[in-house]
Amino acid sequence: MSEKIDLSKYVPSEEEEFMNGNQRAYFRAKLVAWKNDILREARETLEHLAEESANHPDLADRASSETDRAIELRARDRQRKLISKIDAALQRIEEGTYGYCEETGEPIGLKRLDARPIATLSIEAQERHERREKVYRDE
More confident of the two residues 53 and 16: 16
Phi-psi region for residue 122, left (φ > 0), alpha (ψ -120 to 50) or beta? beta
State residue 2's pLDDT score. Answer: 47
pLDDT band at 24 (very low <50, low <70, confident <90, very high): very high
pLDDT of amino acid 1? 45
pLDDT at 3 over 60: no
Nearest to residue 98, comparing CAs of 2, 5, 26, 11? 26
Per the CB < 8 A criterion, the answer to whether 40 and 116 are in contact is: no
Query: What confidence score (pLDDT) does residue 97 get?
Result: 96
Q: Where are the alpha helices (DSSP H) in 3-122?
A: 21-52, 59-95, 110-115
Domains in the chain and their CATH numbers?
A: 18-98 (1.20.120.910), 100-138 (no CATH)
pTM of the model: 0.78
Is 46 or 81 the better-scoring residue by pLDDT? 81
